[in-house]
């Protein structure tokens, strides 16, 4: 296989992924900002919360199929498929709005959730060819690019509404026209520009190294695939999921559930205490900046300071946010501080956790476990948001923060498992080197 210099290919891969995230994210951000309002108009206000539930469910349902597609065909086809499904979902929502069909609008929102699944898997694509010392940085750059869509997208809602009115569409429908176009353009970009495919290239390089090692000890190299193409990416699953990989999945999922549980109920809490919609909007915007805006910093920390330490820092920030929320929940300024810390903690824990998930895994094994991680992450988020309302009603904002600390404790336990596994591997590696030296 003729492979371009890996560092140059990696820079190109990250650039394409960032462009795809921005292009797709802006349109989706505009649509998501009015999703609950559209559902309230079509299905009633009591069901408006199911707008977020539907997109989260769509992301969860798409996680493993897209990961399997990546294993078989590569990252480009998988990410492009997610974008195309989201674009189709936007079309379905527009049709549902015209027909005033609640089942159809929920179906469209589920398909729109495929964009979230693709966005999550894009961060893993950034790590396929990354050097070990730069993996966290490259992954975090792709996560950071999500900030642009998250901030700029909602600001296009007004323009989308004006466009919808010009086309004589029902109210709140126009913003869904943006993802129809943006997701199509993102799919075209990913399928045409993400070449050579990072996962296929990583798999081919792994095969070449294995062949070289076999030749060095007198073994026979594996025959090349017909036509000089990289070997198929389908691999037989290992007998069991490594304990450290399961712990990394739990770390990411529990950190995400913590963030979603507190974040989703903060607007309700602030509204009950008389905060204006402007204050609520600013609070959530600052939280989003905390989630994505500082992700490169956490990526660099993960590379230089260590992923376990960076994940520990993220969990410490999550705990700090919960303490501030529990003690200062009656004051808006302290709630804002808590939400910023919550976003920063989520960023540190999930970026480092994504890096920990890929440690020690061959390229062909990664998509399967990455798909499981995204599935667990979305299901945990959905569960966290669903239970948070009940806890808030029963125990208040301080009670919600206290209960969420149990999730952080679970994430910390998972991190300790990872640290112990790492120590065992290092000791085993040192023993093996000592034996070879004799």
> At a CB cut-off of 8 Å and minimum separation 6, what does 291 contact?
259, 343, 344, 346, 347
pLDDT digits (tens, 9 = 90+) for 308-348: 999 999 999 999 999 999 999 999 999 999 999 999 999 99
Q: What is the mean pLDDT of residues 419-430?
A: 76
Alpha-carbon gap, residue 16 to 339, rounded angstroms: 31
Encoded tokens for 420: 């112990």
pLDDT of residue 53: 78
Out of 195-204, 290-299, 417-426, least confident range = 417-426
Flag whether pLDDT at 432 surpasses 80. no
- In this structure, are residues 197 and 191 in contact, taking their beta carbons and an 8 Å threshold? no
Flag whether pLDDT at 192 surpasses 60. yes
Out of 134-148, 168-182, 189-203, least confident range = 134-148
Average pLDDT taken over every residue of the chain: 86
DSSP secondary structure, 141-181, as one string: HHHHHHHHHHHHTGGGHHHHHHHHHHTTPPTT-GGGHHHHH
For helices 332-357 and 277-288, give the axis angle rounded to 10 degrees: 30
- Show the domains of the chain with their CATH numbers: 6-201 (1.20.1250.20), 243-437 (1.20.1250.20)
Out of 154-168, 195-209, 245-259, 421-435, least confident range = 421-435
Q: What is the mean pLDDT of residues 9-14?
A: 94
pLDDT of residue 434: 53
pLDDT digits (tens, 9 = 90+) for 45-88: 677 767 777 888 899 999 999 999 999 999 999 999 999 999 99
Flag whether pLDDT at 104 surpasses 80. yes
pTM (2 d.p.): 0.78
Flag whether pLDDT at 28 surpasses 50. yes
Which of 256, 370, 349, 248 is CA-nearest to residue 295? 349
The single-letter DSSP state of residue 289 is I
Which of 284, 286, 285, 290 is CA-nearest to residue 263? 284
Flag whether pLDDT at 99 surpasses 90. yes
Dihedral pair phi/psi, residue 74, rounded to 5°: 115, 170
pLDDT digits (tens, 9 = 90+) for 222-253: 454 444 444 444 444 444 667 889 999 999 99
Whether the CA torsion 16, 17, 18, 21 is positive or negative: it is positive
The angle at the Cα of 330, spanning 329 to 332, to the nearest 5 degrees, equals: 80
Band the pLDDT of 438: cuts 50, 70, 90: very low
How many Cβ atoms from other residues are within 10 Å of residue 281's Cβ? 13
Percent of the chain with pLDDT over 70: 89
Find the largest Cα–Cα distance for the chain: 81
């Amino acid at each position: 296989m003729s492979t371009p210099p890996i560092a140059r290919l990696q820079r190109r891969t990250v650039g394409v992924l960032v462009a795809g995230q921005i292009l797709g994210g802006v349109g989706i951000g505009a649509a998501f900002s009015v999703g609950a309002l559209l559902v309230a108009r079509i299905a009633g206000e009591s069901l408006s919360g199911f707008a977020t539930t539907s997109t989260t469910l769509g992301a969860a349902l798409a996680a493993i199929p897209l990961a399997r597609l990546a294993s078989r065909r590569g990252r480009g086809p998988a990410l492009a498929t997610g974008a195309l499904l989201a674009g189709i979902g936007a079309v379905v929502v527009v049709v549902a709005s015209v027909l005033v069909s609640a089942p159809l609008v929920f179906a469209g929102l589920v398909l729109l959730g495929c964009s979230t699944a693709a966005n999550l898997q894009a961060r893993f694509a950034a790590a396929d060819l990354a050097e070990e010392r730069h993996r966290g940085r490259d992954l975090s750059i792709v996560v950071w690019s999500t900030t642009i869509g998250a901030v700029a997208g909602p600001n296009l809602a007004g323009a989308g509404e004006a466009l919808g009115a010009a086309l004589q569409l029902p109210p709140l429908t126009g913003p869904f026209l943006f993802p129809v176009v943006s997701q199509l353009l993102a799919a075209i970009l990913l399928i045409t520009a993400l070449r050579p495919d990072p996962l296929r290239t990583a798999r081919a390089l792994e095969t070449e190294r294995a062949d070289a090692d076999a030749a060095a000890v007198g073994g026979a190299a594996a025959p090349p695939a017909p036509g000089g193409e990289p070997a198929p990416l389908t691999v037989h699953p290992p007998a069991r999921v490594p304990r450290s990989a399961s712990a990394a999945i739990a770390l990411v999922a529990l950190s995400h559930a913590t963030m979603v549980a507190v974040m989703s109920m903060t607007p309700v809490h602030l509204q009950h205490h008389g905060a204006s919609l402007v204050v609520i909007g600013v609070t959530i915007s600052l939280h989003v900046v905390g989630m994505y805006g500082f992700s490169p910093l956490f990526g660099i920390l993960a590379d230089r300071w260590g992923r376990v330490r960076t994940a520990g820092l993220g969990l410490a920030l999550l705990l700090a946010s919960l303490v501030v929320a529990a003690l200062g929940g009656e004051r808006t300024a302290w709630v804002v501080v808590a939400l910023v810390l919550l976003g920063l903690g989520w960023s540190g824990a999930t970026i480092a956790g994504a890096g920990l998930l890929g440690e020690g895994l061959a390229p062909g094994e990664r998509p399967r476990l990455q798909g499981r991680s995204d599935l667990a992450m979305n299901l945990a988020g959905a569960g966290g948001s669903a239970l948070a309302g009940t806890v808030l009603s029963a125990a208040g904002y301080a009670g919600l923060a206290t209960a969420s600390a149990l999730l952080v404790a679970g994430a910390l336990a998972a991190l300790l498992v990872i640290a112990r596994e790492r120590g065992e591997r290092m000791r085993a590696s040192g023993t093996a080197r000592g034996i070879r030296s004799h």
